[in-house]
Structure 1
């Protein structure tokens, strides 16, 4: 059942304790507070930020992100963003690290530790071990005189003037600032590495972009006995039987060596039926086919087949190799099933 979108009026509120004006004012205050917190980050894209980028760029291992509570949730997101944009990264829970997961961190890694106060016990317990191993440490906190900041090789200041929470208790603006700083690091590194859309697709093969950039014609085309094809001397009835069996709405017309000579489609059939000069019983497919068939090669991207079909207003394509030999066939339904279109 679809939810009804209500207009922004008092009629949208039925509970006697809810005040429409107060709700809107509260929401706008939150947006303003968090927007100011983000704006302040511009002045903190400084030498510390550049040093953090350098440590991460030159890291021969992986970037390990850690944080407790809400900072941990932000840390997981930062690690996921880094990993999907060309910087190998993963998240380690500081509590679990004290009970064995610290072994996941090697001397080739770089650690990013998040704590707004900079005094989170679970983090401070594991950081001396990390420092003794000579592992570079990047701290992200709201207190540049904290224990975490003092232990770090680089401290990124993500302090905020105030939380959006009116009680000043729930992490709101501070977590937003940390998240944005993490995004800034990830995107700066993405551009420094020359990370491309194709690289992004390789880490997102199940996503729509991955399918568009990674799926080739050879992955979706019909091959072997599933290719509709007849010889140039085939009759109209033989062609119709082949088209019906293979279900692609067309058939290739080939020579004895399987080289493509033309294509016969549903459209060709309709034109033949409308041409009173054509003897449908005696006509051979060589007289009825379209000789300039639209083709594509198997190593092309599947999205290119979709563009061809759209450009020429056709619903199927024949696939040929470099020598012109027929190797496959596909139609728009194959692309739909593969979720390319």
Structure 2
């Protein structure tokens, strides 16, 4: 959120964005954690087409309502820009990308760059991983962890070849976004492999200190500008060590419970912040307060940040659970939606 908001700042843009850009590998951690939780939760529950359908329906109920609402918001903005003849708003580009956003294909290289709600490429990438989740399970069930590790190595090899041939607009698969589904699949499979390591307790780690120290190394490596080939192994180690410690003593993180009202809506914050960026920074700041010189940007930008968190919390309490209850199947043993957000 801060990274995207900084581009509206009148000063400090280059310094701030260059530092925050180094944290980009955290997106890979997101997909790894997704693969970890999905495998942990659904590994034994997806075994045929019916259970796969229930799985996909549950994931759609969790992720799609907010995605569609925000996508349609930006589609409406694009239509308004078209009607007003706004010369600097990319309405043509946004409207051309709308069908791919609605079909969740916009992270597969179907669009010319990011459009509409630009962070939602990760939703498209997630559903690409969900669609291929049965293949991950087939590999695990027939060949075990070794086969999954071999599949990960093979896929990364394919991505490296594709990068060398210039197939990714960003230059390399590890920084892909409009083609980020292929990057996400590698991370997702790594998370799935981590879930197997943790489930089998191939390492007996019970203290959180190894995970915390490795996480600190990840942050230091990112801020130092270390190569992805250094950061990614550290990130995998941090996830594995942390998961081993927490599963060994689930109550050990009970002290973090007061943070849950905010941390559990991280997905909402991620998707909603471009809406607040448009309202507060493009409309209110850029076309209004910027010329008036009545408030410093770095004071004002706390307002869209707070608004993003508040709206995400309210969405997590009311809108998303309501949609989940409406869309989730009650038949065939599908899990019932809880009073709050579904787990990751």
What is the TM-score when the length of structure 1 is the normalising length? 0.22
The one of the two structures with greater contact order (alpha-carbon pairs below 8 A, sep at least 6) is 2
Q: Write 1 or 2 for the structure with the bigger share of helix.
A: 2
Q: Write 1 or 2 for the structure with the bigger share of strand.
A: 1
What is the TM-score when the length of structure 2 is the normalising length? 0.22
